[in-house]
Amino acid sequence: MSQQHLPQPRTDRATAQPSRVARSLARGRLGAPAVLFFVMSAAAPLTVIAGAVTTAYAVTGVTGIPVAFVVVAAVLAVFCVGYVSMARRISNAGAFYTYVTHGLGRPAGVATALVAVLAYNALQIALYGGLGVAAAGFFQAEAGWDAAWWAYALGAWTLVTVLGLLRVDLNGRVLAVLLVAEIVVLLAFDVADLTHPAGGTISLNTLSPGNLAAPGLGALLVLAITGFVGFENAAVFSEETKDPRRTVPIATYLAVALITILYAGSAWAMSVATGPEHIVDRSRAEGTETIFTLAAGHIGTSMATAGRLLFLTSLLAALLSFHNTVARYLFALGREHVLPPVLGRTSRRTAAPAAASTVQSGLALTVILLYATQGWDPLVRLFFWGGMWGGFGVLLLLTTTSVAVAAFFVRNPDQRRSDSAWQTAVAPVLAAAALITVLVLALRNFATLLGVSPSSALRWQLPALYAVAAAIGTAWAILLRDRHPGIYQAIGLGANAATGRATSTTPPHPTDAMFDPAEEPR
Amino acid sequence: MAGRAQMLTGRQYIPQLADDMFWITHGDMSGQPQLRPRAIGLGLAAGLLGELILTRHLDLTEGVVVVLSESSPADVLAHLTLDQILAERDVRDVRSWLTFLAQEAEEAVGQRLQRAGLVERQVSRWRRSAVRWHPLDGIAAARPSHRLYVALTRNEYLSPSDATLAGLVAAVGLTRTVLFDAGSNAASLHRLKAWVASLPLPLHELVAQTEAAVGDLVLTHRA
């Protein structure tokens, strides 16, 4: 993969003079709080704590989850140094495959894109299992309704499908209010747990680094990474923020810090309330109810009921957020013609990426119906396996991206000038080394991660699916290079594929996306 | 209607590229916006820049706007737009100009049409910010999309301005509102594509940049 054909990185816009135009454009741009809210609502705190963490205690039987969040936060903080530094230098910075295209070449970029589509789809569809079970339990207890999990999952699916097509991002106020409410409830639960420790003493056991020596460390780290998914989205706004040099980094680091405190703190508080030796049994007995029954005993049932309701809205927000992430990936790939151009079309009135959104919804519906008809367990097999498998995919994306960031700065010495060696060399290499280590541990512990026997074929089959996706992506990119060099050149440019470059010297070509034959008038 | 405006200004109203774009993005005679406000803004901003490229006041290469002539354009709004560009020589990339002009483009083009007596600006009684442009001359409103439809379905000549219009309509995603029925088939789309491909480079670039800007609206949740 020769480097001279890669799209040239965008010049740093932060150097522009303040002018009337610049000031006017700045008014429409986002500040750190807006970006932070967007990122945090995708992270959906209650979904992770009430859903993923309790299920993880139950399935893996490992208690070191709180300390795993802290370790992963440290790794991600180092990862973000190079990640946000490179974000200002490329177009379409929200997508991992753009980084990989710039750093490791277009075939690796397309491979990464397909892995990302698979991983984010897994994360999204997994949530339907969690939501179905949680909603069935909630309405059974509160209203006496006796519907199956998949009925609620299908209800949520309808809502997400419609909202996705209407392009109601639910961002802005609704999401902000829900997010704040979630955090308040979680903190109240934490305080209640910590003021009522089991046996009267607050045990720091689950926070101790000693847990890292326990078997199953790789499984814990993947779980923690799954919890952080969403932090990478701040970079989507690189070109939309008031000050790209500061806003995106501030929002990204703040998100990582907030998520760490909230997740590690809450996972630890739960173990304090039950006693570290009982958290696994309690989680196995009560599932996603654990955090609420613990709290109900201390601060009353109404608060716990509010928490259960917010858990459902949190799951919905996460569903919509991941749905939009998948749709955005498919839309960008459609605009680039790497995937069928029809995916790059939008609905006229709502500007939603309609075709991409429909494809994601169709996939989700297929999986929900498959689980419903086969009678497979929605909590462990859909929510937890799907979530962990998706989280493992994101770990692959993070690892590849960290290597790509390091490679990018080696290949583009002129891009290194305005930043320190820590930002462009040391941190990216450290992050890559750390993430590769996590990846190896995760692969070794994949059976623990799924809670299956070490001899189960699943422990190889599931990771292998990503290898298949990557192989298809690489082959597809090479085919494009030989048959459609114009499309090949524009890989990684997202919507800018229309101009054939971010900033370069070749004349532009409007893409066929605008004229794709599928758009034939009725 | 246009007659009265002519008597007042002593100038004949000549439809401009952005005016044509205005009608198509507002559903011809219905006056209903066909796209989200930001996308309409970008389409009209591209129309305004296109007018200045067509009159050879501006050049556009590789995403950079270059002023070719400082002479006054005949049209008042084009004059105003060129003045803004002349006053900000530091801002050269076309994406910044598209985004900047998009903020006021609907109001500016709407007022130009109002001066020509072709639309009436209506403010909603309930929401002050909700402006509707009520078309007063249905034939003028429907003319641009009809012109494109006829030329593309019957394989007739498109002027550079109309070929640019066709490209911008496709870039904002409104191809199907122009080529709306069975009479406009794959061959019409193929012709549209060929016309855009044959555009002079600056106009070709304008179309591509508009498509990219509209796509980025979707990717950054700003649509």
Give me the phi and psi of A93, to 5 degrees please.
Answer: -75, -10
pLDDT band at residue A310 using 50, 70 and 90 as cut-offs: very high
Q: How far is CA A296 from the centre of its chain?
A: 31
Q: Which residues of A touch B91 (CB under 8 A)?
A: 16, 19, 21-22
Nearest to B205 among A19, A22, A508 (CB): A508
Please check the confidence at residue B17 and state whether its pLDDT lies above 90. Answer: yes
Distance between CA atoms of A255 and A470, rounded to whole angstroms?
30
CATH class of A35-159+170-313+377-457: mainly alpha
Q: Do the chains contact at A508 and B221, CB–CB below 8 Å?
A: no
Handedness of CA A74, A78, A81, A86 (dihedral sign): negative
Number of neighbouring beta carbons within 10 Å of residue B113: 26
Chain B residues touching A21 at Cβ < 8 A: 84, 88, 91, 96-97, 100
Nearest CB to B217; choose among A24, A351, A496: A351
Q: Kindly report the nearest CA distance between residue B55 and chain A, in angstroms.
A: 21
DSSP state of A508: P
**The token pair that represents A309 in the structure block:** 């309701």
Q: Which residues from chain B sit within 8 angstroms of residue A345, using beta carbons?
A: 173
Contact A48, A263 (CB under 8 A): yes
Residue A16 has a pLDDT of 44
Residue A236 or A17, more confident: A236
Residues of B with Cβ-Cβ distance to A497 under 8 angstroms:
212
Residue B100 has its nearest CB partner, among A25, A240, A328, at A25
Q: How far does the CA of residue B152 sit from the closest CA of chain A (Å)?
A: 13
Percent above pLDDT 70 for chain A: 91
Q: Is the dihedral of CA B147, B153, B157, B161 positive or negative?
A: positive
Backbone phi, then psi, for B123, in 5-degree steps? Answer: -105, 135
Q: What is the pLDDT of residues B97-114, one digit of tens each?
A: 999 999 999 999 999 999
pLDDT level of residue A473 (50, 70, 90 thresholds)? very high
For the cut 60, the answer to whether the pLDDT of residue B18 exceeds it is yes
Q: Any idea what DSSP says for residue A30?
A: B
- CB contact A377 to B (< 8 Å): no
Among A165-174, A379-388, A444-453, B204-213, which is the least confidently predicted range?
Answer: A165-174
Alpha helices in A44-146 (DSSP H): 45-46, 54-60, 65-87, 96-104, 106-143
Per-residue pLDDT, A174: 78
Give the C-alpha separation, B85 to A397, whole Å. Answer: 43
**Closest by CA position to B106, among listed B52, B5, B36, B206:** B36
Å between B221 CA and nearest CA of chain A: 8
With residue B61 as reference, give the H or E element that holds it. strand B58-61
Q: What is the pLDDT of residue A408?
A: 95
pLDDT of residue A299: 84
Which residues on chain A are in Cβ contact (under 8 Å) with B184? Answer: 521
What is the domain partition of chain A in residue ranges? 35-159+170-313+377-457
CATH 1.10.3630.10 at B2-215, yes or no: yes
Are the C-beta atoms of residues A220 and A65 closer than 8 Å to each other?
yes
Say what percent of chain B tops pLDDT 70. 91
B185: nearest CB among A236, A512, A520: A520
Closest of B148, B193, B169, B43 to residue A509, by C-alpha: B193
What tens digit of pLDDT does each residue of A125-155 get?
999 999 999 999 999 988 899 899 999 999 9
Distance, in Å, from the CA atom of B189 to the CA atom of A100, rounded to the nearest integer, reads: 35
CB atoms within 10 A of CB A361: 21
Radius of gyration of the CA atoms of chain B, in A: 17
Across the range A88-99, mean pLDDT stands at 85
SS3 for B81-147 is HHHHHHHCCCCCEHHHHHHHHHHHHHHHHHHHHHHCCCEEEEECCCCCCCEEEEECCHHHHHHHHHH
Q: Cα(B92)–Cα(A237) distance, rounded to whole angstroms?
A: 22
The letter for the amino acid at A118 is L
For the stretch A413-434, pLDDT in tens is: 888 888 889 999 999 999 999 9
pLDDT in tens, B51-93: 999 999 999 998 999 999 999 999 999 999 999 999 988 888 9
DSSP letter for each residue of B172-220? TT-HHHHS-STTS-HHHHHHHHHHHHTS-HHHHHHHHHHHHHHHHHHHT
Question: Helices A301-335 and A149-166: crossing angle, nearest 10°?
Answer: 50
Q: Quick check: A387 pLDDT over 60?
A: yes
Over residues B182-194, the mean pLDDT reads 84
- pLDDT, tens digit (0-9, with 9 covering 90-100), for A158-174: 999 998 888 665 556 77
Half-sphere exposure of A440 (CA within 13 A, CB side): 5
pLDDT at A451: 84
ipTM value: 0.84
Most A-contacting residue of B36, B211, B222 (CB-CB within 10 A), to test interface: B211
Structure tokens at A425: 């060399």
- How far does A236 lie from chain B, in Å, by closest CA? 6
Query: Phi and psi at residue B67, in whole multiples of 5°?
Result: -85, 125
For A240, which of B170, B192, B222 is closest by C-beta distance? B222
Q: Give the model's pLDDT for residue A204.
A: 85
Give the nearest partner residue to B100 out of A21, A328, A349, using CB atoms. Answer: A21
Q: What confidence tier does A397 reach under pLDDT thresholds 50, 70, 90?
A: very high
Does A500 contact chain B (CB < 8 Å)? Answer: yes
First to last CA, chain A: 43
Taking only the tens place, the pLDDT of each residue in A498-515 is: 887 663 323 333 444 444
> Side chain identity at A241, as an amino acid letter?
T
Cβ neighbour number for residue A210 with a 10 Å cutoff = 10
State mean pLDDT over A401-413.
Answer: 94
Helix (H, G, I), strand (E, B) or coil at A69: helix
Q: Is the dihedral angle over the CA atoms B99, B100, B101, B103 positive or is it negative?
A: positive
Tokens 């990426």 label which residue?
A353
Chain B touched by A512 (CB under 8 Å): yes
Indicate the average pLDDT of chain A.
Answer: 86
* Beta carbons of A383 and A133 less than 8 angstroms apart: yes
Output DSSP code: residue A230: T
Both structure tokens of A61: 């039987």
Q: Do A498 and B212 touch (CB under 8 A)?
A: yes
Q: How far apart are CA A154 and CA A148, in angstroms?
A: 10
Q: Is A517 on the interface with B (CB under 8 A)?
A: yes
